[in-house]
Structure 1
Amino acid sequence: MPRRPHLILAGLAVPVALVAAGCGGPVPVDVPKLSAADQDACDAFAADLPDTLYDEKRVDIEPADAPAAAYGDPAIVVRCGVGVPKGFDETASCESANGVGYYLPDEQYTDQDLDLTLTTAGYRPRIEISIPARYRPNAGPAAMAVLAPLVKQHLTLVDDCD
């Protein structure tokens, strides 16, 4: 598989304007089964997630204690403790933001009309950022950059991907 050049996003400025989220009730999130150590890391990561992400206010999730957060309507969802994404292997390339590598499937990289799923490639436990197509092209790089310091702080680097 050909490797894409890395996308480096250091010092990306993210606007702080707030947009009201919809009133559709809590956003359902899948809760992975985690080891005690991964649960602790994910809980600490989730507790430090920001109140806004890409101009979208944080909204309620269900279950409320999941190691996750949702922003806006349609929701941008950040989950901790996800499995290996489909299509990811040792030859997959990463996009890098503030020193953290994220995997995204090739078809999502090339088709801006698709929803975007970014997964930390070299950290354990992994986080996943699901971004509806409506927020593309800028929400992916912005979310990667904003979340990178939290990834480095709370998760363990096991394979450098950037």
Structure 2
Amino acid sequence: MADTPEAETPDEGQRSPLSPALIATLVAVPVVVIGVFIAFAAFKFSTRPDSGPIPVDEYSTAQGEDAQKCPAFLDALPETLGDYGGKSVDGTTVRWSMDGSDPIVVRCGVARPEGLAPTSGLQVIDAIQWFMTDTVDGRGQAYVSVDHRPYVAMWLPSGSGNAPITDVSTLIAQKLTRAPLDFGK
């Protein structure tokens, strides 16, 4: 066979143009990544923990001489509970807030919890017996102290830790009257 002439080679300084498909891919990938990030952020903020009522806000209140102890008790609550601050008092309700979370809520003078029975599981914190009344998945738990009067309800958002309920328990023991458990017979 005869020698064939060398194939022509493009000039070293010239580049071949990028194909339209490659250019479209290089543009589309960052746009998709940004779109997914925006969608994730929108979903995260639409399912924030404060997306519904806090159970203790809806508890009925009790009347009577025990309820007269509430103002002094609420005034004695600290300005901060754990990492939550900005204590605000509205009637018989106190709230402490923290960015990105439900507030911690304490209500004094709520009615006896309907579900409290001799077989109820109680949690003892700093010598105060608490009855868990509500749990909202991903948001928190509500408790009512049941061995002092007046009854005190407390909402603890997820991640608030044990310090807030311990501090409130200490204050209940100091300021409110111990009473027997009332099973509503």
Normalised by the length of structure 2, the TM-score is 0.57
* Aligned with residue 145 of structure 1, among 162, 166, 177: 166
Contact kept, 8 Å, 2:141 with 2:157, in 1: the verdict is yes
Question: Which residue in the other structure is 1:32 paired with?
Answer: 61
Amino acid paired to 1:84: R
Q: Which has the higher contact order (CA 8 A, sep 6+)?
A: 1
CA distance in 1, matches of 2:75, 2:92: 8
CA distance in 2, matches of 1:94, 1:127: 14
Question: Which residue in the other structure is 1:91 paired with?
Answer: 119
Q: Secondary structure at the match of 2:138?
A: coil
5+ residue gaps in structure 2? 1-53
Q: CA deviation at 1:152?
A: 1.3
Q: Higher helix fraction: Structure 1 or Structure 2?
A: 2
Q: C-alpha offsets along residues 61-114 of structure 1, whole Å, 9 cap, x if unaligned?
A: 4xx3x1221011421100100112242212112111111111114x74xx8635
5+ residue gaps in structure 1? 1-26
Percent identical among aligned pairs is 22
CA distance in 2, matches of 1:122, 1:79: 15
Q: Let me know the Cα RMSD of the aligned residues.
A: 2.6
Q: Secondary structure at the match of 2:61?
A: coil
Greater gyration radius: 2
How many residue pairs match? The answer is 122
